[in-house]
Chains A and B, each alone.
Chain A
């Protein structure tokens, strides 16, 4: 087990290294730079050039890369020109809202998606099944921004139950925290809920057709126990994969929802940073996101073993 984890973590290094080079080149070869944005729309070229020189943006690109990457190896991801703080601090401060949002969306996927999938699977072919899967299809198809705007219109503008946007950290109270996050979580999570429901249904159906379930049923085991104890556990592997992969998407793909609901998370950070060409932040976030993806996949792999002893990794 330990060797496996070590191997996977070591395999991460070349990935991060390649990503670091690619992102550095792409950003630096894109026209426009932080000096232009910093000095404003009507600054003269002379002023822009002077600031560029001061910021070291005129140095050869390989020198800039070496300077940056050697800092990264020492745990220094650089300094944000606009935030006036180390990049790591910036990422951490923007991580809270995003992870909160992702967890809430994931909880909804689990609490709503899985039960719906089970209901649909056990009533296969019925009107309930078909209407549930119809709704699920809608959930996958409706874009999050549209759903988000619709929710705002109903619950914030018309009913005035919830704020239109913004963010309050958990430290200000759970209820306040949820008040700001519930609508974005629904908008963001609707696709996850639908995906999870569909995956649960198809995976469960597959298991329900196997011989050991037939055996259990013929033995007279209660249908409830058949479903929850035997079938669901065996059907859980693909569901877990979906949940895990979508968690990565939730963390990294919340940009649109964060923009609509004005949540200062990682998605907003990357959009704003590209807009203002805050090089070190863009690089830092991309590296961070890459790391998160690979790390979540690793965790999922390990969780397989917990659920299904057959894939346990420490077996000799």
Chain B
């Protein structure tokens, strides 16, 4: 009797559960197969674990790096960076520049198809590019007032107010990039971004299971460029049928997932687990630099409007121990505002001001500035462990100097809200993402939260943007960086290493300002 009763209860609950969940959405899976095409084996599914879900896949909308990492597989741009950070044509066939450098004529590639089967037209490009011009911070910084117009024979014209050697570089920006989308999609978009993700890239969007994954699939109608693959440019080919970006917020779950083969690639691995992953015979580690850790001064109001105060902090800091404490050994101590990998712009100018660790000099500067024990608020976010740890170490160092420090550590949205109010903070510690050109450096921007830019910096930046040759621009850039290390809108601490774990059976995977998953295949 009792067994019957208990069994009955169990069955009832199971049935109840089944009824409740009968309605769970079923996903239709496309059959998977292997197809030989030009001798290249294609097939299988590639699973990439990333820590956060993108706010949107609309590349025009956001500077979020996770959007860049996913969207680049769906959308393409008129020009793209090759591995030397040189902009080369992608959806454009060729580009003519007028003699005065104020008109760019883009001849578009013929027969490029969107994922919905529609052929890309000049009109699509026009609407896409003008929307991007309006939304992109980089475009606003370098080519303010520029406009795309229709040209003859299906060409598209870019008209700029001021000639510059950097225009194509900006059009090739990797984050908040100039994605080409169908005109209809953009016209139907509400203020939070497009709702259909249709591009011309090697992968097409299939499904977004919120808080779970984004599913992309090989786009069979993709037309690759007939150039060797390099950076984000050249020949692209989807070598897997399905590409999943799995959102896995917990780093130990990502680690366990790559160890057991549940994911093929995992992004943003903890440096603490490096040894464990490196000794695994099935894994290889890919390290790259995801930006740099830095301290921003509030030059809008308060103590640090005084250059001597800024120089005092810069003189005092022992950057080595900050980096070590914040990033263990996942860093590169380097003073260049442009990462070393960006060969064109990398510069050692101003390096003697970096990592001075000179308490005597700092104390003297403090005295000259007339610092009198006023409380200094350092703002940072707990969402970045590196920034938080760096802040705690910097606090200690500055306190030794006799400064009175108060820490304010919040989650990211709160931090941004506090940062908008200049009376709430004096120092702010965070990371800056790498940018392709100096013009896109946030802290040289007009609307930078750290306060207005020095006139001399603005002048030199303008000279770089309007230089007629890259050599000339480079020379001015050296001068600018040297000056900036004295003027100090920020103090750069060092480059942050990003660690990805990749299964050894994954072939062709590259990292270029984010993962590149075309031309990537699964062997065996």
Instruction: Give the interface of A toward B (CB within 8 A).
Output: 30-33, 36-48, 51, 54-55, 81-84, 90, 93-94, 96, 99-100, 103-104, 106-107, 110-111, 149, 152-153, 156-157, 160, 163-167, 169-172, 224, 228, 259-262, 264, 268-269, 272, 275-277
Determine which residue in A31, A33, A45, A55 has the highest number of CB atoms from chain B within 10 A of its CB, and name it: A31
CB within 8 A of A31: which of B23, B62, B418?
B418
Total interface residues in chain B, CB < 8 Å:
69
Listed in ascending order, the chain B residues whose CB lies under 8 Å from chain A are: 1-2, 6, 9-10, 13-14, 16-18, 20-26, 53, 55-56, 61-65, 67, 135, 137, 140, 175-176, 191-193, 195, 209-212, 246-250, 252-253, 256-257, 259-260, 262, 410-418, 420, 430, 432-433, 442, 445, 447-449
Please report the C-alpha to C-alpha distance between residue A172 and residue B25 in the assembled complex, in whole angstroms.
Answer: 10
Instruction: Give complex CA distance A94, B211 in Å.
Output: 9
Q: How far is the CA of A166 from the CA of B257 in the complex (A)?
A: 10
B433 near A41 with CB under 8 A, answer: yes
A55: B residues at CB distance < 8 A: 191-192
Q: How far does the alpha carbon of A259 sit from the alpha carbon of B135 in the complex, in Å?
A: 34
Measured between C-beta atoms, what is the minimum distance from B349 to chain A in Å?
A: 24
- Taking CB atoms, residues of chain B closer than 8 Å to A171 are 21-22, 24-26
**The one of A31, A42, A100, A172 that contacts B432, using a Cβ cutoff of 8 Å:** A42
Closest A-chain residue to B55, C-beta based? Answer: A38
Which residues of A have CB within 8 Å of B442?
Answer: 42
Complex contact B24–A96 (CB within 8 A):
yes
Contacts of A82 in B (CB 8 A): 53, 55-56, 210
Chain A nearest CB, measured from B483 CB (Å): 23
**B262 & A163 in contact (Cβ 8 Å cutoff):** yes
Please list the 3 inter-chain residue pairs (A to B) with the smallest Cβ-Cβ separation, ordered nearest first: A32-B413, A40-B63, A31-B417
- Please, how many angstroms separate the alpha-carbon atoms of A66 and B14 in the complex? 42
How distant is the Cα of A228 from the Cα of B433 in the complex, in angstroms? 67
- Would B55 and A37 count as touching, CB distance under 8 A? yes
Q: Do A31 and B260 touch (CB < 8 A)?
A: no
Residue of B nearest to A171 (CB): B26
Cα–Cα, bound, A166→B256 (Å): 12
Determine which of A43, A157, A164 lies in contact with B62 in the assembled complex, contact meaning CB atoms within 8 Å. A43
* CB closest chain-B residue, reference A278: B55
Q: Complex: how many Å from CA A38 to CA B63?
A: 9
User: CB within 8 A of A40: which of B22, B65, B246?
Assistant: B65
Smallest CB–CB gap between A96 and chain B, Å? 5
Residues on A with beta carbons closer than 8 Å to the beta carbon of B24 = 96, 169-171
Shortest beta-carbon distance from B386 to chain A in Å:
14
CB distance from A169 to the nearest CB of B (A): 4
Contact B432 A275 (CB under 8 A): no
Residue numbers in B under 8 Å from A157 (CB-CB): 256, 259-260
B53 cross-chain contacts in A, Cβ below 8 A: 82, 272
Asked whether A228 lies within 8 Å of B2 as measured between CB atoms, the reply is yes
Interface contact B65-A81, CB-CB below 8 Å:
no
**Inside 8 A of A30's CB, which chain B residues have their CB?**
414
**By the criterion CB–CB under 8 Å, are B413 and A260 in contact?**
no
CA distance A164 to B247 in the complex (A): 13
Indicate whether A262 sits within 8 Å of B248 (C-beta atoms), given known contacts A32-B413, A38-B61, A170-B21: yes
Chain B residue nearest in CB terms to A80 = B210
A41-B63, A42-B442, A264-B211 given; A47·B137 CB < 8 A? yes
B17: nearest residue on chain A (CB-CB)?
A103
Partner of A272, one of B26, B211, B248: B211
Given contacts A103-B13, A264-B209, contact A38 B257 (CB under 8 A): no
